[in-house]
Amino acid sequence: MEDSIWIYLDENIDKNFLYVLSKAFKISPVTATVMINRGITDVVLAKEYLDCEIAPLFDPFLLK
C-alpha cells in the first residue's frame, strides 16, 4: 500500500466553531472542516471566502 499524500492539519478542530459555521452558512460539517483547515478562523472570513467576487479570479479559458 502506498503512503498517504493527504496532510491532516488539525485533528482537534473546535467543534463549536464547526457547528456555528455549518449552521450559519447551511453547509455540511465536512465543508466547514475543509474551510477551517484552509485557515478560516471566524464567520467574517468565511463570508468573504464563500461570497467572493468573480472579477479578480483568473480566466479559466486561459488554461491549456
Cα end-to-end span (Å), the chain? 33
- Dump the DSSP string for 5-60: ------SS--HHHHHHHHHHTT--HHHHHHHHHTT--SHHHHHHHHT--STTSPPG
**Residue at 8 is within a domain:** no
- pLDDT (tens digit per residue) in 7-47: 666 678 889 999 999 999 999 999 999 999 889 999 999 99
Between CA 55 and CA 23 the distance in angstroms is 28
pTM of the predicted model as reported, rounded to 2 decimal places: 0.68
Number of domains comprising the chain: 1
- Take residue 64 and report the three cell numbers written for it: 491549456
**Residue at 2 is within a domain:** no
**Residue at 9 is within a domain:** no
Q: What is the pLDDT of residue 1?
A: 53
**Residue at 19 is within a domain:** yes
Residue 53 has pLDDT above 90, yes or no: no
**Residue at 10 is within a domain:** no
Comparing 3 with 17, which gets the higher pLDDT? 17
**Residue at 53 is within a domain:** yes
Q: Which domain holds residue 20?
A: 15-62
